[in-house]
Structure 1
Amino acid sequence: MDSFTRGALRFDVTEHGPADGVPVLLLHGFPQTAASWEPVARRLADAGYRVLAPDQRGYSPGARPAGRRAYRVEELVDDVVALADAAGADAVHVVGHDWGAIVAWALAALHPERVRTLTAVSVPHPAAFMAAMVSSRQLALSWYVYLFQVPALAERFLGRPGGLAAAVRRTGQTAERARRDEAALTAKGGLRPALTGAVNWYRATPFWEHRGLRVTVATPTLMVWSDGDSAVSRASVERNPRWVTGPYRLEVFAGVSHWIPDEAPDRLADLVLEHVAER
C-alpha cells in the first residue's frame, strides 16, 4: 500500500513488513511526516508486523482541504479509520507521536473497537493536557499554540528557507533531522502550502465537537514521555491515569528531547513490541 483514499482525499502511506502481519499504524506529529518513523518501523516490520505510516491530513498533497474546520480532530480520526478499512483491518495497534498521539488518543476514545493497543509518545490524553494548562507551567510551554492561531503568521516565519528547521532545532532536534523534516514538507507540494495544512491542526482546536475529548480510554495504553521535552510538562502526563480505565503504563526517558522516535528509536521500538505482543 502506498496510498489510500477517503472521499476525494488521497493520503500517502509508507508500508513496511509482511502484508499478512498484524497491522500497526504509526501516526506522526508536527512538523514531520512518515519519514520520522523509519527506524521504529523497520524494527516492528522485522518482528513480523505490517506497519503503515501515513502522511496525515494537510501533509499529503492530495489531502489538503481548505479551511480550519476540515482539520478538526474528528476528521483526523476518521482518516485513520479509513486507513484501517483500506488495510482490511477491523482493529489495529496505534502508535502516535506529538499530534499523532492526540489523534491516537481520540481514536481510542471514540472508536475503541478499532484499537487493540494504544502507544502515546510525548503527548498525554487531551483532557489531561488541557487540565495541566490551567494548573501548571504547561500554559507557558504551549505559547506557540496561540501564535499559530494568527492567520499566515506561522507560514510567514517558518516558511522561509531554513526557518522551520531553525525553529525545530531550538526544541532539541538535531540539525540534520530538522533539515530532513523541512525538506520532506517542501517536497510535499511546497513548504508554505504544507505548513498551512499542518498548522491548521492547531487552528481547528476551537471547533472540536468533543471539547477536550473528555472521554476515558479503556484500551491498553503505554505512555512514553521524556524529561527533556520542551513542549509537554510532566504535570500533564501525570494526569493521564484519570482518563485511562484500562491497563496503563508510563515510561519516562531521561535526557531525551521531545523527538523520541528520532532520538531513541530502538528503546521506543522495544517498548512498543513488548506492549503489542501482550495483546
Structure 2
Amino acid sequence: MTDTNGGSWTHDWAHLDSIVLHYVEAGDPDDPLVVLLHGFPEFWYAWRNQIDSLAAAGFHVVAPDLRGYNRSEKPPGVDSYRLKRLVDDVVELVDHFEAERANVVGHDWGGVIAWEFGHRRPDRLDRLVVLNAPHPEALERELRSPTQLARSWYALFFQLPRVPEAILKRTDGWLGELLRTAPANSAAFDESAIERYEHAIARPGALTAAIDYYRAFGRSQLRRWFGLTDSSGRHPTIEAETLVIWGEQDSALGTELLDGLDRWVPDARIERLPDASHWVQNDAPEPVTDLLEEFLA
C-alpha cells in the first residue's frame, strides 16, 4: 500500500512463535536486511524519514511496531516485556524474512534492544547501529551519578503500578506537547505526525505496554542487585562493526554515557550531532540517513 507520507511501504503482520507484530516493509527482499527498532513512546513511523532512502540504497527495510505498540499484539503482564523476550522477537522477525543475519538499527528503547541483540545473538548480527540509547554497562555506571539519576526521574516514576497511566491519560495532549517542545528542531514533528503518534499510543493497552518496558527492566535490575538471579550483569564484547549516533542535546541521557564504550564494543564509531536532541533521526533526518547509508553499505 502507499502510505500517506508519500513512500511506498507495505504493511503486514508477522505471526511469530509468541507474538504477532505489525511491520512496514520497503525494498527488495533479496537485498541485505535492515531492521529498524523504534523507541518510547513511538512506533514504526519514527523511521519515516529513513525507510525510502535506505530501500533506494539497496536494503530490504523492515520497521516493526515493537510488541505492545500501535498495531502489534499487546500481551498482558510486565514479564511480557523483559529484554530477553524483546530480543527473541527480533530474532524471530529475522527468521520470518528467511535471513541468516540482519543489520539492526535501534533508537531509545529500540537501541536498548539492539545492544542486547548484539550481546546475545552475535551469530545473527551483521552490523549494529544505536541512536541515543545507552550501553547497559555505561547506564549502570552513570546511574551512580546524581546528575544522570535526576535525568532518569521518569524511568523511576514508571516503576509505580497504574499511577503513570492514570496521570498521563488525564493529561490531555501530553504526547503532542512532548513532541512539540522536546526536539531541538521545531519542525521535527509536524501536526500530522503528532496526530499519528497520539492515535498509536491511545490504542487499547498500548500505554501500559510501553510503560511495562521500564517496569520489566527495573525489576530485572533489582533482582540482579539483590542477588536473586544468576546473571552477574556483565556483557560479552560486541565484535560487530557498530555505529553510535548521538544527539548531544538529549535532556534525559548525558554524553557521559559514551565514555569508555570501546571497553565493551571495540569496533565502535561514535558520531555526535551537537544540534540534535534525543529525537535525533527526526531532528536531523538527512545527516542520520546519510550516516546510515554510508555505514551499512
| Partner of residue 148, structure 2 | 138
2:174 equivalent in structure 1: 163
Instruction: Give the C-alpha shift of residue 22 in structure 1.
Output: 0.8
Larger Rg over CA atoms? 2
CA contact (8 A) 1:91 1:113 kept: yes
Structure 1 stretch displaced more, 180-189 or 2-11: 180-189
C-alpha contact 1:77 1:103 (8 A) present in aligned 2: yes
Question: Relative to structure 2, which stretch is displaced further, 67-76 or 168-177?
Answer: 168-177
User: Over residues 3-29 of structure 1, what are the superposed CA-to-partner deviations in whole Å (9 max), with x where a residue is unaligned?
Assistant: 112235211000011121111000000
Per-residue deviation, 1:216: 2.3
3-state SS in 1 of match to 2:248: strand
Q: Report the alpha carbon displacement of residue 212 of structure 1 after superposing the two structures with TM.
A: 4.9
Q: Does residue 203 in structure 1 map to residue 221 in structure 2? A: no
Q: Matches of 1:198 and 1:124 in 2, distance apart?
A: 18
1:217 pairs, out of 238, 243, 251, with 238
Contact in 1 for aligned 2:65/2:72 (Cα 8 Å): no
Which residue type is aligned with residue 123 of structure 2? E
Alpha-carbon displacement from aligned partner over 1:61-85 (angstroms, at most 9, x marks no partner): 4421111111001110000011100
Distance in 1 between residues matched to 2:39 and 2:212, nearest whole Å: 13
* Deviation by residue 1:105-124 (Cα, 9 ceiling, x = unmatched): 00010000111000000112
Alignment partners' CA distance in 2, 1:189 and 1:271: 29
Conserved 8 A contact 2:35-2:102:
yes
- Name which of 65, 69, 78 aligns with 1:68: 78
Distance in 1, matches of 2:86 and 2:190, equals 24
Shift of 1:193: 1.9
Local SS of the residue matching 1:31: coil
Report runs of 4+ in structure 1 exceeding 4 Å deviation: 173-176, 178-182, 209-213
State the partner residue of 1:266.
Answer: 286
1:106 aligned to 107, 111, 116, which one?
116
- 1:18 and 2:42 equivalent? no
Aligned to 1:190: 202
Deviation, structure 1 residue 239 = 3.1
Residue 8 and residue 103 in structure 1: after superposition, are their counterparts in 2 closer, same or farther (change >3 A)? closer
1:231 match: 252
Q: Which moves more between the two structures, 48-57 or 146-155?
A: 146-155
Displacement of 1:156 = 1.9
2:268 paired residue number: 248
Within 5 A, what are the aligned runs for 1:26-41? Answer: 26-41=36-51
Letter in 2 for 1:259: W
Which residue of 53, 60, 63 corresponds with 1:50? Answer: 60
Q: Hey, what does 2:6 align to over in structure 1?
A: none
Which blocks of at least 5 consecutive residues in structure 2 are unaligned? 1-9, 221-228
Could you tell me how far 1:172 is from its partner in structure 2? 2.3
| 8 Å CA contact 2:69, 2:201 repeated in 1 | no
Give TM-score, length-normalised by structure 1.
0.91
Question: How high is the sequence identity, in percent, across the aligned residues?
Answer: 35
Find the residue that maps to 1:200 and give its secondary structure: helix
- Shift, 1:169, TM fit: 3.7
SS at match of 1:12: strand
Output the aligned Cα RMSD.
2.2
SS at match of 2:21: strand
Q: Is the contact made by 1:97 and 1:122 (CA closer than 8 Å) also made in structure 2? A: yes
1:162-190 superposed Cα distances (whole Å, 9 cap, x missing partner) = 12222344432748728656643554483
